[in-house]
Amino acid sequence: MALFKAASAPKLPRIACIGTVTDVADTKISQKGVYNVTNITIEPRGGGYPTKFALLTRPEWLTPGYDPDVELDGQPGPAFVYKTNIMAASDSGPSRLIGLAGSLEKANILVDTIMAGAASVEDTDGNTVSVVPDEKLDAALRTCIGTTVGFVLQQKLEDTGVVDEHNKKVKIRTSNYEFGEFFFADDKALAKYRRLAKERPEDWRVGFDEAF
């Protein structure tokens, strides 16, 4: 049965928010078994909306000796997930793991705590590998509960189930928001987002100065 094409919702501006990390759920394996998923909840302060985001990891990614340039070379999908969740390029905003700590100084402590949980185990082929067990990761991440974080909410897109001529999923805008990315909520960053909201109100709003 053919259906009519759904219409996108009007474009919504991004919202820069400040919030508090309130919950870190137990890490679970994804449905496809590719990544470990840790759902984390943030409550906004002032304006904004309560939000959850999923931290995607692999147990070997979190160990001291892991080198993504070697291990993920030629794998654009996993390399993108690694950059988004574990460690981003120095000229971009913090990854989800680093941003969760609230500051670069606290991120160094968090990373040290995670790496300290690494253990040697045998894989299915009998090889000894280094991994960070889920319970060690969860314990480290829960030290971030109560932390103040800066984060951006972005308009949520909905998958239409259709692919275009380039085999990319066709998505449409919805009327809802979802977690976008972290930023470190220092004076410089807050001034930046206030300026963006003033100069480009169609693209940006700030949630830390107002409730809506």
> What digits encode the pLDDT tens for the residues 44-60?
998 788 999 999 999 99
For residues 18 and 183, give the distance between their C-alpha atoms in angstroms, rounded to a whole number. Answer: 9
Rounded CA-CA distance 191/44 in Å is 18
pLDDT-based confidence at residue 1 (cuts at 50, 70, 90): very low
For the whole model, what pTM was predicted? Answer: 0.89
Confidence at residue 163, expressed as pLDDT on a 0 to 100 scale: 72
**What Rg value do the Cα atoms of the chain yield, rounded?**
19
Q: Nearest 5°: CA angle at 142, between 139 and 148?
A: 155
Cα–Cα distance list, 88 to 74, 84, 92, 119 (Å)? 17, 6, 7, 25
CA atoms within 13 A on the CB side of 102: 15
pLDDT > 80? residue 5: no
Q: What is the per-residue pLDDT across 71-96, written as a single tens digit (0 to 9) for each?
A: 998 899 999 999 999 999 877 889 99
- Are the C-beta atoms of residues 146 and 176 closer than 8 Å to each other? no
What phi, psi does 179 have (nearest 5°)? -60, 135
**String of DSSP letters for 76-92:** HHHHHHHHHHT---TTS
